[in-house]
Structure 1
Amino acid sequence: MKSEVSAVLAAPPMRGEVPGLVSRALLAAVPVLSLGMLGAVPSYVIAARRGERADWVAAIVFTAATVGWLFQAALTPVETHGAQFALDLVLLGVATVGASLHCLFAGFRAGEAA
């Protein structure tokens, strides 16, 4: 029993490629279906799988956009116009559409066929 546990713990962490196209499509649906509330989840999955600095930066950016959108939604009045409304739209767009597009296209390098 101890040898099995030590073998599992000694195994290197899973790094490498992003998930396949079907998995990426399902992950990309998470921010859209949750209206941006879970926008950082696909980026964290990609960052954990690949372990590159750019992926971690993207995960942090989408987390910041989600947290900023939550604060903006909580602190603004219902009848919002102008710059506050534009900021709401930008933050919501980054948390949903931006996170989904990042999930779909994060694994492709220049020169790869989509």
Structure 2
Amino acid sequence: MNQAVRLEKGAESPRSMELPGRPARVGLALVPLLSLGVLGFVPSLALALRRGTRSDWLAALLFTAASVGWCFQIALTPEETHGLAYLVDVVLLAAATLGAAAHGLAAGRAGR
């Protein structure tokens, strides 16, 4: 069974709360751009696994939902699309690509 583990006073957490350096964050931000949003969840998921805060997991969930939603949208929409279907395509693509890349670069800057 899982039992709660008590940390002694002054003990360090096993998870590092520091973000990776700038080159690693730039590399993570390039993943959604190079995959055109298909792997848009990768930067936020890597940050969530690294730091484990609630906001990081929420961002990972949102970008995963945007990527999956965009994949479903392109599978279910005809090639010649107009109007609302086209707008949904553009918004999901922008969120999964540009939003995920911007999040990968700017995550954690407010805490510094």
TM-score (norm 2): 0.85
- Give per-residue Cα distances to partners, 1:84-114, cap 9 Å, x unaligned: 000000000000000000000002116x4xx
The answer for the alignment partner of 1:73 in structure 2 is 74
The answer for the alignment partner of 1:61 in structure 2 is 62
Tell me, yes or no, if the aligned pair for 1:24 and 1:103 is still in contact at 8 Å.
yes
Q: Count how many residue pairs are aligned between Structure 1 and Structure 2.
A: 101
- Report runs of 4+ in structure 1 exceeding 6 Å deviation: none
The answer for the alignment partner of 1:20 in structure 2 is 21
TM-score (norm 1): 0.84
- Compute the displacement of 1:47 (Å): 0.6
Structure with the bigger percentage of helix:
1
Listed as ranges, the gaps of 5+ residues in structure 1 are 1-11
Identify the range of structure 1 (13-22 vs 53-62) with the bigger mean alpha-carbon deviation: 13-22
Listed as ranges, the gaps of 5+ residues in structure 2 are 1-12
